Amino acid sequence: MQKIFFDSRILDKAARDAFGLTEDIMMENAAMALEKEVAAEENVLIATGSGNNGGDGWALARRICAAGKKLTVLEVLEAKSEACLLQKERALKCGVNVVNARDAENFLNENGNGFGCVVDCVFGSGFHGEFADEIKCLMKKLNALECKKIACDIPSGLDSYGNAAEDFFMADTTVTMGALKLALFSSTAKDACGKIVVAGLGIDRELFESGTEECAMLLEESDLSLPHRKKQNVNKGTFGHTAIVAGEKTGAALIAANAALRFGSGLVTLVAKDAAKNADKKNIPCELMAGDEFPANTSAVGLGMGLGRKDEDSAAYLDFLEKNEDIPCLLDADIFYSPRIKAFLKKRTACGKNASLVLTPHPKEFSVLLENCGLGKYSTGEVCANAFELAKKFCACFPGAVLLLKGAVVLIALTENGRVCVYANPHGSNALAKGGSGDVLSGLVASLLAQGWSTKESAINASLAHALASRLAPCDYALTPLELIQHVCEL
């Protein structure tokens, strides 16, 4: 895992104070990191802004110019900060070719096809709102260039939470300075950042990050643990009994049940009204069991997938979970529409105790859940724009529960030692944008819960397995839920 910070400017100041680094030294190291990324390109365009992000661009221009590369600085905004002015002065003394903003459109129209690389050094951290019309037009043209695109620190147009202005810069690589920023790990940012490289600013990264508390943790591929079986003297009961509730749309529960069985659960039962006698009609695979009630040895419950949104659809199952609060449960989809959900969560998380509970909503469902829990009325767009803060708000209200908020970047939030902690998983692919993908994830989480994994371990490892399996799909538009389950088995 790697640390993620909300505002790295605090880290910059701390590094200057603690280690005697000057702004000039840090900027030189930033430019050096950018230089490594453009080393193979012969004709480089650097778009600069007025602040220190622009200063990094001017420093890069001086270094490239000294190396004899062909380059042009497109001064989108006139230099204003002290550091930016100094770096511009140095670059101009080296003979750097400069095009100002008013000539930018004609220049790009005439020379746009000749660049090997464009470097975005216009806006860094601290940007908010929308671009001025002329900058929006310019960003659109830069994005249209058919060449390698590199962003300095944060792609222009992203704010501190990763929300984007219209026509934000879309980089192939983002060289972020000193440490990872939260802005780089929103679902929107996934289309802006490309590959993310952390550049050192003159001291070891661990030293740079020391003394400042992170706001989140980045999950890495190496953090994945799979439920491999280490002992030989075992039986099916050793690996838990997952009960998946089937309701109005049986297919969702069947997908989740298949995922639970393939991810290591020793036994899986579909629980539904008249399930046993209707098993053949519902095309329940022979390896799955079906019953009208929860098995006596149920070790985890998955509830909500295709359940139905009427109160009577969920009442009996919530009653069971309230009476058996030691049985871990996975809640998803339709259960968030239940008028009883707030009372259930309050009882389950009373006094901050471990609720043995994982919730896996997508943004629309999270919007419904927040409203039903009395935490505010938010549109789906507002949930996406404020996902980080809303996830923390939910977990602060229901400590003991683990929230897995789905999206292009998955956020997993939970309360640890009195503090809400957030883990970001950016590893999934767009192949997951298909009905049934979320049901696979529900089954994976429920399976780990049934096998005795903690709620935190279950959410993190199921999410990573789900994401990494999606990247094994040979075709980004054709992945089906059952193929996704198969890819989980190939990890």
By C-alpha distance, which of 367, 317, 356 is closest to 446? 356
| Residue 353, pLDDT score | 65
- Residue 326 in tokens: 């030691």
The gap from C-alpha 200 to its chain's centroid, in whole angstroms, comes to 23
Instruction: State the Cα–Cα distance between residues 30 and 59, nearest whole angstrom.
Output: 9
Q: Give the list of residues 6+ apart from residue 319 with CB closer than 8 angstroms, or none.
A: none
Split into its structural domains, the chain has a count of: 2
Query: Contact, 42 vs 72, CB < 8 A?
Result: no
User: pLDDT for 66-94, tens place per residue?
Assistant: 777 889 999 999 999 999 999 999 999 99
In 295-409, where do the E strands start and end?
300-303, 329-331, 357-359, 401-405
Instruction: State the Cα–Cα distance between residues 23 and 319, nearest whole angstrom.
Output: 61
Of 198, 214, 230, the domain-final residue: 214
> Is residue 349 located within the same domain as residue 469?
yes
Instruction: State the Cα–Cα distance between residues 40 and 223, nearest whole angstrom.
Output: 33
- Number of Cα atoms under 13 Å in the Cβ half of residue 350: 6
> Is residue 193 located within the same domain as residue 261?
no
> Is residue 198 located within the same domain as residue 239?
no
Is the pLDDT confidence value at 352 over 80?
A: no
- Number of Cα atoms under 13 Å in the Cβ half of residue 174: 29
| Residue 226, pLDDT score | 98
> Is residue 185 located within the same domain as residue 276?
no
> Is residue 195 located within the same domain as residue 237?
no
Identify the band that residue 232 occupies on the pLDDT scale cut at 50, 70 and 90.
very high
> Is residue 180 located within the same domain as residue 89?
yes
In 88-191, where do the E strands start and end?
98-100, 117-121, 148-152, 173-177, 180-181
User: pLDDT for 249-286, tens place per residue?
Assistant: 999 999 999 999 999 999 999 998 866 555 555 678 88
Q: Which residues pair with 177 in a beta bridge?
A: 199
CATH code: domain of residue 462: 3.40.1190.20
CATH code: domain of residue 121: 3.40.50.10260
| Residue 109, pLDDT score | 86
| Whole-number average pLDDT of the chain | 93
Q: What is the DSSP string of 16-57?
A: HHHH---HHHHHHHHHHHHHHHHTT-SEEEEEE-SSHHHHHH
Residues in the chain: 491
- Residue 254 in tokens: 């069947």
> Is residue 206 located within the same domain as residue 279?
no
Is the pLDDT confidence value at 225 over 60?
A: yes
Q: Give the list of residues 6+ apart from residue 421 with CB closer than 8 angstroms, or none.
A: 216, 217, 413, 414, 415
Average pLDDT over residues 416-444: 96
Instruction: State the Cα–Cα distance between residues 91 and 57, nearest whole angstrom.
Output: 10
| Residue 398, pLDDT score | 95
> Is residue 182 located within the same domain as residue 87?
yes
Asked whether the CA dihedral 354, 357, 358, 364 is positive or negative, the reply is negative
Of 166, 198, 214, the domain-final residue: 214
Strand, helix or coil at 48?
strand
Distances (CA, A) of 381 to 6, 18, 378, 412: 21, 41, 8, 19
> Is residue 415 located within the same domain as residue 347?
yes
Query: Contact, 121 vs 56, CB < 8 A?
Result: yes
Strand, helix or coil at 446?
helix
Q: Give the list of residues 6+ apart from residue 255 with CB closer than 8 angstroms, or none.
A: 305, 436, 439, 440, 443, 481, 482, 485
| Residue 280, pLDDT score | 54
Identify the band that residue 359 occupies on the pLDDT scale cut at 50, 70 and 90.
very high
Name the amino acid, one letter, at 323.
K
User: pLDDT for 157-174, tens place per residue?
Assistant: 999 999 999 999 999 999
By C-alpha distance, which of 390, 418, 399, 402 is closest to 461? 402
| Structural element, H or E, at residue 262 | helix 250-262
In 42-112, where do the E strands start and end?
43-48, 70-75, 98-100
Identify the band that residue 126 occupies on the pLDDT scale cut at 50, 70 and 90.
confident
> Is residue 359 located within the same domain as residue 299?
yes
Instruction: State the Cα–Cα distance between residues 28 and 300, nearest whole angstrom.
Output: 55
| Residue 255, pLDDT score | 97
Name the amino acid, one letter, at 47.
A
Of 214, 238, 272, the domain-final residue: 214
> Is residue 415 located within the same domain as residue 286?
yes
Identify the band that residue 15 occupies on the pLDDT scale cut at 50, 70 and 90.
confident
> Is residue 208 located within the same domain as residue 310?
no
- Residue 140 in tokens: 């659109």
Query: Contact, 372 vs 334, CB < 8 A?
Result: no
Residue 117 structural domain: 2-214
